[in-house]
Chain A
Amino acid sequence: MNTATTRPAPPVSELLMRGLFDENPVFRLALSLCPAVAVTTTVNNGLMLGVAVFVVQILSSVSASLIRHIIIPKIRVPIFVIIIAIWVSVMDMVLAAFYPMVYAQVGLYVKLIVAFAIIISRMELFAMKHPVMPSFWDGFGMGLGFLVAMLLTGAFRELLGSGSLFGYALVDFRPLLLVVLPAGGFFTIGLIMALFNWVDVKRGISVKDNYKGCHG
Protein backbone atom coordinates (compact mmCIF):
# COMPACT_ATOMS: atom_id res chain seq x y z
CA MET A 1 0.00 0.00 0.00
CA ASN A 2 1.71 3.14 -1.18
CA THR A 3 0.68 6.01 1.05
CA ALA A 4 2.97 8.65 -0.40
CA THR A 5 1.81 11.20 -2.97
CA THR A 6 1.59 9.24 -6.19
CA ARG A 7 0.24 11.74 -8.67
CA PRO A 8 -0.27 15.51 -8.59
CA ALA A 9 -3.57 16.61 -7.10
CA PRO A 10 -6.17 18.08 -9.47
CA PRO A 11 -6.74 21.86 -9.31
CA VAL A 12 -9.15 23.30 -6.72
CA SER A 13 -11.83 24.13 -9.30
CA GLU A 14 -11.93 20.53 -10.47
CA LEU A 15 -12.11 19.25 -6.88
CA LEU A 16 -15.09 21.49 -6.20
CA MET A 17 -16.87 20.53 -9.44
CA ARG A 18 -16.31 16.87 -8.63
CA GLY A 19 -17.99 17.16 -5.25
CA LEU A 20 -20.85 19.27 -6.53
CA PHE A 21 -21.65 17.47 -9.81
CA ASP A 22 -19.40 14.80 -11.28
CA GLU A 23 -19.07 12.73 -8.10
CA ASN A 24 -21.85 14.24 -6.01
CA PRO A 25 -22.07 11.96 -2.94
CA VAL A 26 -25.87 11.62 -3.03
CA PHE A 27 -26.85 12.05 -6.68
CA ARG A 28 -23.86 10.36 -8.34
CA LEU A 29 -22.35 7.96 -5.81
CA ALA A 30 -25.68 7.27 -4.05
CA LEU A 31 -23.88 7.17 -0.68
CA SER A 32 -25.50 7.81 2.72
CA LEU A 33 -29.01 7.66 1.26
CA CYS A 34 -30.71 6.40 4.44
CA PRO A 35 -29.86 9.35 6.68
CA ALA A 36 -30.35 11.70 3.73
CA VAL A 37 -33.88 10.44 3.20
CA ALA A 38 -34.67 10.42 6.92
CA VAL A 39 -33.65 14.03 7.52
CA THR A 40 -34.69 15.94 4.41
CA THR A 41 -38.39 16.34 5.19
CA THR A 42 -37.75 20.10 5.51
CA VAL A 43 -35.06 22.39 4.10
CA ASN A 44 -33.99 23.45 7.54
CA ASN A 45 -33.24 19.92 8.80
CA GLY A 46 -31.44 19.11 5.56
CA LEU A 47 -29.36 22.27 5.86
CA MET A 48 -28.31 21.53 9.43
CA LEU A 49 -27.27 17.94 8.74
CA GLY A 50 -25.53 19.15 5.57
CA VAL A 51 -23.49 21.70 7.52
CA ALA A 52 -22.57 19.09 10.14
CA VAL A 53 -21.38 16.63 7.47
CA PHE A 54 -19.53 19.44 5.65
CA VAL A 55 -17.52 20.34 8.77
CA VAL A 56 -16.81 16.73 9.77
CA GLN A 57 -15.75 15.86 6.20
CA ILE A 58 -13.22 18.70 6.03
CA LEU A 59 -11.79 18.03 9.49
CA SER A 60 -11.53 14.27 8.88
CA SER A 61 -9.93 14.61 5.43
CA VAL A 62 -7.36 17.09 6.75
CA SER A 63 -6.57 14.92 9.81
CA ALA A 64 -6.12 11.80 7.70
CA SER A 65 -3.90 13.66 5.26
CA LEU A 66 -1.78 15.08 8.09
CA ILE A 67 -0.94 11.66 9.51
CA ARG A 68 -0.98 9.69 6.24
CA HIS A 69 2.74 8.90 6.41
CA ILE A 70 2.64 7.38 9.88
CA ILE A 71 -0.58 5.34 9.57
CA ILE A 72 0.16 1.62 9.50
CA PRO A 73 -1.71 0.53 6.33
CA LYS A 74 -3.17 -2.61 7.90
CA ILE A 75 -5.05 -0.67 10.56
CA ARG A 76 -5.97 2.42 8.53
CA VAL A 77 -9.72 1.71 8.63
CA PRO A 78 -9.99 1.61 12.45
CA ILE A 79 -7.90 4.78 12.55
CA PHE A 80 -10.24 6.47 10.04
CA VAL A 81 -13.20 5.50 12.21
CA ILE A 82 -11.51 6.91 15.32
CA ILE A 83 -10.71 10.18 13.49
CA ILE A 84 -14.32 10.54 12.31
CA ALA A 85 -15.61 9.65 15.78
CA ILE A 86 -13.40 12.36 17.34
CA TRP A 87 -14.77 15.10 15.09
CA VAL A 88 -18.36 13.87 15.34
CA SER A 89 -18.13 13.86 19.15
CA VAL A 90 -16.60 17.34 19.06
CA MET A 91 -19.46 18.55 16.83
CA ASP A 92 -21.94 16.90 19.16
CA MET A 93 -20.50 18.59 22.26
CA VAL A 94 -20.14 22.01 20.62
CA LEU A 95 -23.69 21.95 19.24
CA ALA A 96 -25.13 20.82 22.59
CA ALA A 97 -23.26 23.57 24.42
CA PHE A 98 -23.62 26.57 22.13
CA TYR A 99 -26.55 25.81 19.79
CA PRO A 100 -29.05 23.94 21.99
CA MET A 101 -32.01 24.76 19.72
CA VAL A 102 -30.28 23.27 16.67
CA TYR A 103 -29.07 20.34 18.75
CA ALA A 104 -32.59 19.50 19.88
CA GLN A 105 -33.54 18.98 16.23
CA VAL A 106 -30.48 17.28 14.73
CA GLY A 107 -28.73 15.83 17.77
CA LEU A 108 -29.84 12.34 16.85
CA TYR A 109 -28.53 12.55 13.28
CA VAL A 110 -25.21 14.17 14.17
CA LYS A 111 -24.17 10.99 16.00
CA LEU A 112 -25.01 8.98 12.87
CA ILE A 113 -22.36 10.82 10.84
CA VAL A 114 -19.78 8.38 12.26
CA ALA A 115 -21.18 5.76 9.90
CA PHE A 116 -21.46 7.98 6.80
CA ALA A 117 -19.84 6.09 3.94
CA ILE A 118 -18.96 9.27 2.06
CA ILE A 119 -16.57 10.53 4.73
CA ILE A 120 -14.53 7.36 5.13
CA SER A 121 -14.43 6.83 1.35
CA ARG A 122 -12.91 10.29 0.78
CA MET A 123 -10.27 9.59 3.43
CA GLU A 124 -9.36 6.26 1.83
CA LEU A 125 -9.54 7.38 -1.82
CA PHE A 126 -8.12 10.88 -1.59
CA ALA A 127 -6.72 12.12 1.73
CA MET A 128 -4.40 9.10 2.13
CA LYS A 129 -2.74 9.89 -1.23
CA HIS A 130 -2.55 13.69 -1.26
CA PRO A 131 -1.08 16.53 0.84
CA VAL A 132 -3.13 18.61 3.26
CA MET A 133 -4.32 21.46 1.02
CA PRO A 134 -5.75 19.33 -1.82
CA SER A 135 -7.33 17.08 0.85
CA PHE A 136 -8.92 20.14 2.40
CA TRP A 137 -10.41 21.17 -0.95
CA ASP A 138 -11.52 17.63 -1.70
CA GLY A 139 -13.29 17.49 1.68
CA PHE A 140 -14.66 20.96 1.06
CA GLY A 141 -16.06 19.99 -2.35
CA MET A 142 -17.53 16.68 -1.22
CA GLY A 143 -19.00 18.21 1.94
CA LEU A 144 -20.44 21.05 -0.12
CA GLY A 145 -21.85 18.54 -2.60
CA PHE A 146 -23.60 16.72 0.22
CA LEU A 147 -24.85 20.01 1.67
CA VAL A 148 -26.27 21.11 -1.69
CA ALA A 149 -27.88 17.70 -2.16
CA MET A 150 -29.55 17.98 1.24
CA LEU A 151 -30.77 21.49 0.41
CA LEU A 152 -32.21 20.49 -2.99
CA THR A 153 -33.93 17.38 -1.65
CA GLY A 154 -35.22 19.20 1.43
CA ALA A 155 -36.54 22.13 -0.62
CA PHE A 156 -38.33 19.84 -3.08
CA ARG A 157 -39.91 17.73 -0.34
CA GLU A 158 -40.92 20.62 1.89
CA LEU A 159 -42.38 22.59 -1.02
CA LEU A 160 -44.49 19.71 -2.34
CA GLY A 161 -45.11 17.96 0.95
CA SER A 162 -45.96 20.93 3.17
CA GLY A 163 -46.34 23.83 0.73
CA SER A 164 -43.66 25.84 2.52
CA LEU A 165 -39.92 26.65 2.52
CA PHE A 166 -37.89 27.14 5.75
CA GLY A 167 -41.23 26.86 7.56
CA TYR A 168 -42.83 29.82 5.76
CA ALA A 169 -46.03 28.90 3.93
CA LEU A 170 -45.61 29.69 0.23
CA VAL A 171 -48.22 27.92 -1.82
CA ASP A 172 -51.72 27.05 -0.75
CA PHE A 173 -52.67 23.59 -1.94
CA ARG A 174 -53.34 20.20 -0.48
CA PRO A 175 -49.82 18.87 0.23
CA LEU A 176 -48.64 15.58 -1.24
CA LEU A 177 -48.11 13.52 1.89
CA LEU A 178 -46.19 10.88 -0.10
CA VAL A 179 -43.30 13.27 -0.73
CA VAL A 180 -42.62 13.67 2.99
CA LEU A 181 -42.73 9.92 3.65
CA PRO A 182 -39.48 7.92 3.24
CA ALA A 183 -40.63 6.48 -0.11
CA GLY A 184 -41.11 10.03 -1.39
CA GLY A 185 -37.54 10.79 -0.33
CA PHE A 186 -36.23 8.09 -2.64
CA PHE A 187 -38.48 9.31 -5.47
CA THR A 188 -37.15 12.84 -4.96
CA ILE A 189 -33.52 11.73 -5.05
CA GLY A 190 -34.26 9.63 -8.16
CA LEU A 191 -35.83 12.60 -9.90
CA ILE A 192 -32.87 14.86 -9.11
CA MET A 193 -30.48 12.13 -10.30
CA ALA A 194 -32.40 12.11 -13.59
CA LEU A 195 -32.00 15.88 -13.75
CA PHE A 196 -28.23 15.51 -13.25
CA ASN A 197 -28.11 12.99 -16.10
CA TRP A 198 -30.13 15.30 -18.33
CA VAL A 199 -27.69 18.15 -17.64
CA ASP A 200 -24.80 15.81 -18.53
CA VAL A 201 -26.43 14.89 -21.81
CA LYS A 202 -26.88 18.58 -22.59
CA ARG A 203 -23.21 19.16 -21.78
CA GLY A 204 -22.34 16.45 -24.27
CA ILE A 205 -21.09 13.90 -21.75
CA SER A 206 -22.30 10.35 -22.15
CA VAL A 207 -24.19 9.26 -19.06
CA LYS A 208 -22.56 5.86 -19.24
CA ASP A 209 -19.03 7.30 -19.04
CA ASN A 210 -19.82 9.36 -16.00
CA TYR A 211 -21.93 6.89 -14.11
CA LYS A 212 -19.78 5.43 -11.36
CA GLY A 213 -22.35 2.98 -10.06
CA CYS A 214 -23.92 2.50 -6.68
CA HIS A 215 -21.60 1.99 -3.76
CA GLY A 216 -24.31 1.03 -1.31
Chain B
Amino acid sequence: MTAPHATVDTAPPSLREMVRITVGLTVVCLLASIILGGFFLWTEPAKARNIAAREELLIRQLLGLPESATIREVRRYLLWRGPELEAFYLGDRRLLQLDASGDLIATAEVPAEIADSPGDGAKDAWVRERAAVDEDQEVRYVGRFFAGYDGERNAGYVIEGATIGFKTWIRFFLAVDADYGLRGIEVTEHEEDPGLGAEITEPYFKHQYSGRSFDDIAAIEVTKDPLPGEWRTALEALDGSDLDRWLQQHADLVAAHPDIHAITGATISSVAVTKGVKRALRNFRKRMDFVEAHL
Protein backbone atom coordinates (compact mmCIF):
# COMPACT_ATOMS: atom_id res chain seq x y z
CA MET B 1 0.00 0.00 0.00
CA THR B 2 1.42 3.40 -0.93
CA ALA B 3 1.07 6.52 1.17
CA PRO B 4 0.91 9.60 -1.09
CA HIS B 5 0.53 12.06 1.80
CA ALA B 6 2.61 11.64 4.88
CA THR B 7 0.09 13.49 7.07
CA VAL B 8 -2.79 11.14 6.27
CA ASP B 9 -3.39 8.29 8.69
CA THR B 10 -2.80 5.29 6.48
CA ALA B 11 -3.22 2.55 9.06
CA PRO B 12 -6.05 0.22 8.07
CA PRO B 13 -9.10 0.75 10.28
CA SER B 14 -9.71 -1.78 13.04
CA LEU B 15 -12.62 -4.19 12.78
CA ARG B 16 -14.49 -2.17 15.39
CA GLU B 17 -14.03 1.03 13.40
CA MET B 18 -15.08 -0.63 10.15
CA VAL B 19 -18.29 -1.80 11.77
CA ARG B 20 -18.95 1.73 13.07
CA ILE B 21 -18.38 3.24 9.62
CA THR B 22 -20.64 0.68 7.94
CA VAL B 23 -23.41 1.12 10.47
CA GLY B 24 -23.06 4.93 10.33
CA LEU B 25 -23.32 5.10 6.56
CA THR B 26 -26.23 2.64 6.54
CA VAL B 27 -28.16 4.73 9.08
CA VAL B 28 -27.51 7.95 7.10
CA CYS B 29 -28.67 6.34 3.86
CA LEU B 30 -31.74 4.93 5.58
CA LEU B 31 -32.66 8.37 6.93
CA ALA B 32 -32.04 9.89 3.51
CA SER B 33 -34.38 7.42 1.84
CA ILE B 34 -37.10 8.08 4.42
CA ILE B 35 -36.89 11.85 3.86
CA LEU B 36 -36.83 11.49 0.08
CA GLY B 37 -39.68 8.98 0.12
CA GLY B 38 -41.80 11.37 2.17
CA PHE B 39 -41.17 14.25 -0.20
CA PHE B 40 -41.84 12.00 -3.19
CA LEU B 41 -45.24 10.96 -1.84
CA TRP B 42 -46.05 14.61 -1.15
CA THR B 43 -45.02 16.03 -4.53
CA GLU B 44 -45.82 13.17 -6.93
CA PRO B 45 -49.58 13.87 -7.39
CA ALA B 46 -48.86 17.52 -8.21
CA LYS B 47 -46.16 16.49 -10.67
CA ALA B 48 -48.51 14.03 -12.41
CA ARG B 49 -51.15 16.78 -12.64
CA ASN B 50 -48.60 19.16 -14.20
CA ILE B 51 -47.60 16.62 -16.81
CA ALA B 52 -51.24 15.87 -17.64
CA ALA B 53 -52.02 19.59 -17.90
CA ARG B 54 -49.06 20.17 -20.19
CA GLU B 55 -50.10 17.26 -22.42
CA GLU B 56 -53.66 18.53 -22.60
CA LEU B 57 -52.48 22.02 -23.59
CA LEU B 58 -50.25 20.52 -26.28
CA ILE B 59 -53.11 18.39 -27.64
CA ARG B 60 -55.42 21.41 -27.77
CA GLN B 61 -52.79 23.43 -29.64
CA LEU B 62 -52.01 20.63 -32.09
CA LEU B 63 -55.64 20.02 -32.98
CA GLY B 64 -56.65 23.70 -32.74
CA LEU B 65 -59.41 22.79 -30.29
CA PRO B 66 -61.65 25.46 -28.73
CA GLU B 67 -62.04 25.75 -24.93
CA SER B 68 -65.32 23.82 -24.96
CA ALA B 69 -63.86 20.72 -26.64
CA THR B 70 -63.27 17.53 -24.66
CA ILE B 71 -60.32 15.16 -24.94
CA ARG B 72 -60.64 11.41 -24.41
CA GLU B 73 -57.67 9.21 -23.76
CA VAL B 74 -57.52 5.69 -25.20
CA ARG B 75 -54.86 3.36 -23.79
CA ARG B 76 -53.73 0.22 -25.59
CA TYR B 77 -52.51 -3.02 -23.97
CA LEU B 78 -51.23 -6.32 -25.34
CA LEU B 79 -51.42 -9.76 -23.77
CA TRP B 80 -50.02 -13.12 -24.87
CA ARG B 81 -52.55 -15.67 -23.70
CA GLY B 82 -50.65 -18.82 -24.46
CA PRO B 83 -49.90 -18.64 -28.20
CA GLU B 84 -52.75 -16.16 -28.83
CA LEU B 85 -52.16 -12.40 -28.89
CA GLU B 86 -54.93 -10.21 -27.53
CA ALA B 87 -55.25 -6.45 -27.62
CA PHE B 88 -57.15 -4.27 -25.14
CA TYR B 89 -58.33 -0.71 -25.78
CA LEU B 90 -59.34 1.29 -22.72
CA GLY B 91 -61.45 4.35 -23.55
CA ASP B 92 -63.32 6.51 -21.09
CA ARG B 93 -66.51 4.52 -21.61
CA ARG B 94 -65.63 1.02 -22.77
CA LEU B 95 -62.87 -1.53 -22.57
CA LEU B 96 -62.51 -3.52 -25.82
CA GLN B 97 -60.88 -6.92 -26.05
CA LEU B 98 -59.74 -7.97 -29.54
CA ASP B 99 -58.00 -11.03 -30.92
CA ALA B 100 -55.01 -10.94 -33.27
CA SER B 101 -57.14 -10.66 -36.41
CA GLY B 102 -58.94 -7.62 -35.01
CA ASP B 103 -62.24 -9.31 -34.16
CA LEU B 104 -64.00 -8.16 -31.05
CA ILE B 105 -64.00 -10.78 -28.26
CA ALA B 106 -65.67 -8.81 -25.49
CA THR B 107 -66.48 -5.33 -24.26
CA ALA B 108 -66.95 -4.00 -20.75
CA GLU B 109 -68.28 -0.73 -19.34
CA VAL B 110 -65.62 1.38 -17.62
CA PRO B 111 -66.67 2.51 -14.12
CA ALA B 112 -66.63 6.29 -13.70
CA GLU B 113 -64.09 6.21 -10.88
CA ILE B 114 -61.61 4.40 -13.14
CA ALA B 115 -62.21 6.71 -16.11
CA ASP B 116 -61.74 9.82 -13.95
CA SER B 117 -58.84 8.55 -11.85
CA PRO B 118 -55.73 10.74 -12.06
CA GLY B 119 -52.54 9.15 -13.32
CA ASP B 120 -52.26 5.78 -15.03
CA GLY B 121 -51.91 3.38 -12.11
CA ALA B 122 -55.59 2.77 -11.40
CA LYS B 123 -56.44 2.33 -15.09
CA ASP B 124 -53.64 -0.15 -15.74
CA ALA B 125 -54.56 -2.14 -12.62
CA TRP B 126 -58.21 -2.28 -13.63
CA VAL B 127 -57.38 -3.60 -17.12
CA ARG B 128 -55.11 -6.22 -15.57
CA GLU B 129 -57.93 -7.31 -13.28
CA ARG B 130 -60.49 -7.46 -16.11
CA ALA B 131 -58.13 -9.44 -18.34
CA ALA B 132 -58.02 -12.13 -15.61
CA VAL B 133 -54.52 -13.26 -16.42
CA ASP B 134 -52.58 -16.14 -14.92
CA GLU B 135 -49.51 -15.30 -12.91
CA ASP B 136 -47.04 -15.92 -15.72
CA GLN B 137 -48.89 -13.70 -18.19
CA GLU B 138 -48.48 -9.97 -18.34
CA VAL B 139 -50.80 -7.30 -19.68
CA ARG B 140 -48.40 -4.81 -21.23
CA TYR B 141 -49.23 -1.16 -21.79
CA VAL B 142 -48.02 -0.37 -25.31
CA GLY B 143 -49.28 3.10 -26.18
CA ARG B 144 -52.08 5.59 -26.21
CA PHE B 145 -53.84 8.13 -28.31
CA PHE B 146 -56.25 10.97 -27.64
CA ALA B 147 -59.49 11.81 -29.45
CA GLY B 148 -60.68 15.41 -29.47
CA TYR B 149 -64.41 16.09 -29.55
CA ASP B 150 -65.96 19.47 -30.26
CA GLY B 151 -69.46 18.70 -29.00
CA GLU B 152 -70.17 15.36 -30.73
CA ARG B 153 -68.04 16.25 -33.78
CA ASN B 154 -64.77 14.33 -34.06
CA ALA B 155 -62.10 17.03 -34.08
CA GLY B 156 -59.21 14.66 -34.78
CA TYR B 157 -56.74 12.53 -32.88
CA VAL B 158 -53.37 12.93 -31.23
CA ILE B 159 -51.22 9.79 -31.28
CA GLU B 160 -48.26 9.26 -29.01
CA GLY B 161 -45.43 7.59 -30.88
CA ALA B 162 -41.79 6.70 -30.36
CA THR B 163 -38.86 5.93 -32.62
CA ILE B 164 -35.20 5.06 -32.07
CA GLY B 165 -33.14 8.20 -32.60
CA PHE B 166 -29.39 8.64 -32.81
CA LYS B 167 -28.84 7.50 -29.21
CA THR B 168 -32.14 6.67 -27.58
CA TRP B 169 -35.91 7.01 -27.97
CA ILE B 170 -37.47 10.06 -29.59
CA ARG B 171 -41.05 10.45 -28.35
CA PHE B 172 -43.51 12.53 -30.30
CA PHE B 173 -47.17 13.49 -30.66
CA LEU B 174 -48.88 13.28 -34.05
CA ALA B 175 -51.97 15.39 -34.66
CA VAL B 176 -54.26 13.63 -37.13
CA ASP B 177 -57.56 14.85 -38.59
CA ALA B 178 -60.66 12.68 -38.99
CA ASP B 179 -59.47 11.58 -42.49
CA TYR B 180 -56.07 10.45 -41.12
CA GLY B 181 -54.27 13.42 -42.68
CA LEU B 182 -51.34 14.68 -40.60
CA ARG B 183 -51.88 18.14 -39.11
CA GLY B 184 -48.55 18.38 -37.37
CA ILE B 185 -45.98 16.74 -35.14
CA GLU B 186 -44.45 17.77 -31.84
CA VAL B 187 -41.39 16.10 -30.31
CA THR B 188 -42.06 15.65 -26.59
CA GLU B 189 -38.88 13.91 -25.45
CA HIS B 190 -35.49 13.33 -27.06
CA GLU B 191 -31.76 13.24 -26.31
CA GLU B 192 -30.38 14.14 -29.74
CA ASP B 193 -27.23 16.25 -29.96
CA PRO B 194 -27.68 20.04 -29.60
CA GLY B 195 -27.19 21.85 -32.91
CA LEU B 196 -27.54 18.61 -34.89
CA GLY B 197 -30.27 16.06 -34.15
CA ALA B 198 -31.90 18.36 -31.59
CA GLU B 199 -33.01 20.52 -34.53
CA ILE B 200 -35.91 18.05 -34.99
CA THR B 201 -37.87 20.29 -32.62
CA GLU B 202 -37.32 23.38 -34.80
CA PRO B 203 -40.20 24.76 -36.91
CA TYR B 204 -38.25 24.40 -40.17
CA PHE B 205 -38.00 20.66 -39.64
CA LYS B 206 -41.15 19.57 -37.82
CA HIS B 207 -43.53 21.64 -39.96
CA GLN B 208 -42.39 19.82 -43.08
CA TYR B 209 -44.86 17.10 -42.00
CA SER B 210 -47.76 19.49 -41.39
CA GLY B 211 -50.82 19.42 -43.61
CA ARG B 212 -49.98 16.21 -45.51
CA SER B 213 -52.65 13.66 -46.39
CA PHE B 214 -52.40 10.00 -45.33
CA ASP B 215 -51.19 9.00 -48.82
CA ASP B 216 -48.64 11.86 -48.90
CA ILE B 217 -47.11 10.62 -45.65
CA ALA B 218 -47.09 7.00 -46.87
CA ALA B 219 -45.04 8.10 -49.89
CA ILE B 220 -42.81 10.60 -48.12
CA GLU B 221 -39.04 10.19 -48.24
CA VAL B 222 -36.01 11.91 -46.79
CA THR B 223 -33.78 13.89 -49.15
CA LYS B 224 -30.33 15.25 -48.39
CA ASP B 225 -30.85 18.26 -50.65
CA PRO B 226 -30.43 21.55 -48.79
CA LEU B 227 -33.63 23.18 -47.59
CA PRO B 228 -34.55 25.98 -50.07
CA GLY B 229 -34.69 29.41 -48.40
CA GLU B 230 -38.20 30.21 -49.60
CA TRP B 231 -39.59 26.92 -48.25
CA ARG B 232 -37.77 27.44 -44.93
CA THR B 233 -39.30 30.92 -44.54
CA ALA B 234 -42.77 29.51 -45.22
CA LEU B 235 -42.26 26.69 -42.67
CA GLU B 236 -41.09 29.08 -40.00
CA ALA B 237 -44.13 31.30 -40.66
CA LEU B 238 -46.40 28.36 -39.73
CA ASP B 239 -45.25 28.43 -36.11
CA GLY B 240 -48.10 29.82 -34.06
CA SER B 241 -50.40 30.50 -37.03
CA ASP B 242 -53.49 28.70 -38.31
CA LEU B 243 -52.69 25.57 -40.35
CA ASP B 244 -55.68 25.77 -42.73
CA ARG B 245 -55.00 29.38 -43.69
CA TRP B 246 -51.29 28.63 -44.08
CA LEU B 247 -52.09 25.68 -46.38
CA GLN B 248 -54.21 27.92 -48.61
CA GLN B 249 -51.47 30.51 -48.89
CA HIS B 250 -48.65 28.05 -49.51
CA ALA B 251 -50.42 25.26 -51.42
CA ASP B 252 -47.96 25.40 -54.34
CA LEU B 253 -44.90 25.35 -52.06
CA VAL B 254 -46.22 22.34 -50.12
CA ALA B 255 -46.91 20.51 -53.39
CA ALA B 256 -43.45 21.42 -54.72
CA HIS B 257 -41.73 19.83 -51.69
CA PRO B 258 -43.22 16.37 -51.24
CA ASP B 259 -40.16 15.06 -49.36
CA ILE B 260 -38.56 15.81 -46.02
CA HIS B 261 -35.30 17.77 -46.21
CA ALA B 262 -32.91 16.17 -43.72
CA ILE B 263 -31.21 18.34 -41.10
CA THR B 264 -27.63 19.04 -42.14
CA GLY B 265 -25.35 16.67 -40.24
CA ALA B 266 -28.26 14.77 -38.68
CA THR B 267 -29.58 12.48 -41.40
CA ILE B 268 -30.03 9.64 -38.91
CA SER B 269 -32.31 11.69 -36.65
CA SER B 270 -34.26 13.00 -39.66
CA VAL B 271 -34.79 9.51 -41.08
CA ALA B 272 -35.70 8.18 -37.61
CA VAL B 273 -38.44 10.77 -37.13
CA THR B 274 -39.78 10.23 -40.65
CA LYS B 275 -39.90 6.45 -40.22
CA GLY B 276 -41.53 6.83 -36.81
CA VAL B 277 -44.18 9.19 -38.16
CA LYS B 278 -44.98 6.91 -41.08
CA ARG B 279 -45.21 3.82 -38.90
CA ALA B 280 -47.29 5.48 -36.19
CA LEU B 281 -49.78 6.87 -38.70
CA ARG B 282 -50.08 3.61 -40.68
CA ASN B 283 -50.59 1.51 -37.54
CA PHE B 284 -53.04 3.97 -36.09
CA ARG B 285 -55.27 3.82 -39.18
CA LYS B 286 -55.13 0.02 -39.19
CA ARG B 287 -56.14 -0.13 -35.52
CA MET B 288 -58.89 2.44 -35.87
CA ASP B 289 -60.49 0.34 -38.62
CA PHE B 290 -61.09 -2.30 -35.96
CA VAL B 291 -62.02 -0.30 -32.94
CA GLU B 292 -63.45 3.06 -34.02
CA ALA B 293 -67.05 1.87 -34.17
CA HIS B 294 -66.94 0.35 -30.69
CA LEU B 295 -65.20 2.98 -28.58
Contacts and interface: CB of A to CB of B under 8 A. Distances in A.
A90 B35 contact: yes
A89 to B, nearest CB: 6
Given A75-B24, A96-B50, A100-B50, A82 B43 contact: no
B21 A97 contact: no
Nearest to B21: A75
Contacts of A78: 25
Contacts of A85: 32
Contacts, number: 45
Contacts of A93: 39-40, 43, 47
A contact face: mostly helix, strand, loop, or mixed? helix
Contacts of A96: 43, 47, 50
Contacts of B39: 89-90, 93-94
Interface residues of B, number: 20
Interface SS of B by simple majority = helix
Contacts of B50: 96-97, 100
Contact of B46 (A71, A79, A86, A98): A98
Contacts of A97: 42-44, 46-47, 50
Interface residue tally on A, bucketed by range = 10 to 19
B35 A86 contact: yes
Nearest to B50: A100
Interface of A: 71-72, 74-75, 78-79, 82, 85-86, 89-90, 93-94, 96-98, 100
12 contacts: A72-B20, A74-B13, A74-B21, A75-B21, A79-B24, A79-B28, A82-B29, A93-B40, A96-B43, A96-B47, A98-B46, A100-B50
Interface of B: 13, 17, 20-21, 24-25, 28-29, 32, 35-36, 39-40, 42-44, 46-47, 50, 54
